[in-house]
Amino acid sequence: MNQNIFERSENAVSWKVVLAVLTGNVIFMASSYTMLIPFLPMYLTHELGVPMENVNLWSGAVFSASFVVSAIMGPIWGRMADTHGKRMMAIRASLLLSVSYFLGGVVSSPLELVGMRIFQGFAAGLWPMDLAIMTMYAPPDKLGVCLGVMQSAMTAGGVIGPLLGGVLAEAFGMRASFFVASAALMLNCIIFLFVIKEPPDPSRKKDAAKSPAPSPLALLKIPVLRTLLCASAVMQMVILILQPIMTTYITSLAGELPNIIFVSGMIFSLGGFAGVIAAPAWGWFGQHKGYLRAALTAIPLAGVGLFIQGSVTNLHIYAAMQFVCGVFFCAVHPSINALLAKNTSPDVKGSIFGMMFAVQQIGSILGPVLGGVVATMFGMKYVFYVAGCVLFSLALFLRARKKLIEGT
């Protein structure tokens, strides 16, 4: 259903310009988030005076508060994007996120930080709007590559963020990271105001604006969309299922290393480096061989990689498999996003990507909880086995619905 509608519009911005601008936008957004999140426990203890015995409780509350609210607001903002403009919703998200990060830098108590994260969840929605805008600007024969580049930018931001956050914390204190993140999001807002234009939607007639956009519940009744959204949620859950035990597991493999924090950080980031390199290639693969084929190739191979990670006792092999898993993980979300774009008309893309963002937030909540429960009950290595089994099941689930997804 995606049409190259912008080559027909004299006022449209070139899709190449949009891709370049949104790529920078995503890097700013992702690095702003990840330069702060890894340091939340330290921020709570060093800056907000939380006792060590309570830091895990407050960290959990601060971390999860945003996910819960953004999961609720995602479909609402997405539907508003279809009626009031996707560019306007991107400006709204950039501006409010900028405000939220500034507030994070001036809070004086852990309860205020939880309130800031709740407000941040309310403000969220920039990533789905970036995706919606890009899928409407991209020519059909460039959609996969464009989404692959944006996924690469998202992953690159995830690698840059913690490094930049560490440098800023050492040089200027941890509050500086919040102010830098606020400035980056404000720059995003300014770029949207003066560079990006609202994607024209030829599928909506002149009087169509008077009719309401389909509700999220109505869209969920469409089998192919429901299938892809479920797959997106499960994939996000698997990506985050290892988060509670990753550093501890690396420590158990490394033994008594003097620089274990640095080593853990480097190994953790290997998957991100792999994603930066491989995501555009997977986009090309999906464009030429089929997005579902790309997902069905990457998902079980990532599952195999997780089983190997859970079985090895050598740190070097574990680190190598962390890179390999990153190569395969980065293929899945862009493939699902491309399939969502191909199966929806321009007038509901905001709603669809808002719902995608919401289900991913749900997966982000469930993943660490499931990982923590499995590690506590059975041991850390079983988290990798459970995650691998979930991926194998997801691949079978998608393969069983191949005809539905591809419309054959």
- Please say if the pLDDT value at position 408 is more than 70: no
Domain boundary assignment for the chain = 15-199+214-402
User: Of 217, 221, 163, which Cα lies nearest the Cα of 31?
Assistant: 163
Span 107-123, average pLDDT: 91
Residue predicted with more confidence, 101 or 54: 101
Query: What SS3 state is found at 81?
Result: helix
**Segment 136-180, tens digit of pLDDT:** 888 888 888 888 888 888 888 888 887 787 778 778 888 888 999
Asked if 375 and 382 touch (Cβ cutoff 8 Å), the reply is yes
Q: Mean pLDDT check: name the lowest of 6-15, 26-35, 151-160, 175-184.
A: 6-15
How many alpha carbons fall within 13 Å on the CB side of residue 89? 31
Looking at residue 161, its pLDDT comes to 81
State how far the Cα of 339 lies from the Cα of 305, in Å rounded to an integer: 25
Span 388-400, average pLDDT: 96
Write the CB contacts of 116 (distance below 8 Å, at least 6 apart in sequence): 100, 103, 104, 107
Q: What is the pTM of this model?
A: 0.80
Fold that domain 15-199+214-402 belongs to in CATH: Growth Hormone; Chain: A; (1.20.1250)
Tokens coding 69: 């609210």
Asked if 124 and 73 touch (Cβ cutoff 8 Å), the reply is yes
Asked if 2 and 134 touch (Cβ cutoff 8 Å), the reply is no
Looking at residue 212, its pLDDT comes to 63
User: Of 178, 79, 66, 81, which Cα lies nearest the Cα of 122?
Assistant: 66
